[in-house]
């Protein structure tokens, strides 16, 4: 748990405070979702469609969790903006993806 709080400390005060209030299981799920996000990005790099679907799912899950934790709306705006940018970049190669 200390490692999760340490990692959250790099993200800033509100994030580290929110993570410190979470039960250990939820904090570990946050770390797991980060690892899944890395796997999805690698899948997109290797032109696998499941990576795009995974990132869409993680973004929706992130927005829901941010709202439940009372995080800033800007977190959600940036997350959705990042997803829209990714979709715009992937769109031309979508037919070639497996």
More confident residue, 42 or 3: 42
Structure confidence at residue 13 (pLDDT): 64
pLDDT for position 17? 67
Domain count within the chain: 1
Tokens for 55? 């990132």
Cβ contact 34:8 at 8 Å:
no
Average pLDDT over residues 3-19: 55
The whole-number pLDDT of residue 2 equals: 39
In order, the DSSP letters of 42-64 are: HHHHTT-HHHHHHHHHHHHHHHH
Range of the domain at 73: 2-96
Residue 68: per-residue pLDDT: 83
Q: Is the pLDDT of residue 81 over 50?
A: yes
Is the Cα dihedral 30, 76, 95, 41 positive or negative?
A: negative
pLDDT in tens, 17-72: 666 677 777 778 878 888 999 999 999 999 999 999 999 999 998 888 888 878 78
Euclidean distance between CA atoms 36 and 55, whole angstroms: 9
């Amino acid at each position: 748990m200390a490692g999760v709080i340490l990692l959250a400390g790099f993200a800033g005060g509100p994030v580290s405070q929110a993570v410190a209030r979470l039960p250990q299981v939820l904090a570990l799920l946050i770390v797991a979702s980060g690892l899944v996000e890395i796997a999805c990005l690698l899948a997109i790099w290797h032109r696998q469609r499941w990576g795009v679907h995974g990132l869409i799912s993680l973004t929706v899950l992130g927005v829901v969790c941010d709202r439940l934790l009372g995080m800033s709306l800007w977190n959600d705006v940036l997350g959705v903006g990042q997803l829209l940018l990714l979709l715009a970049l992937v769109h031309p190669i979508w037919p070639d993806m497996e």
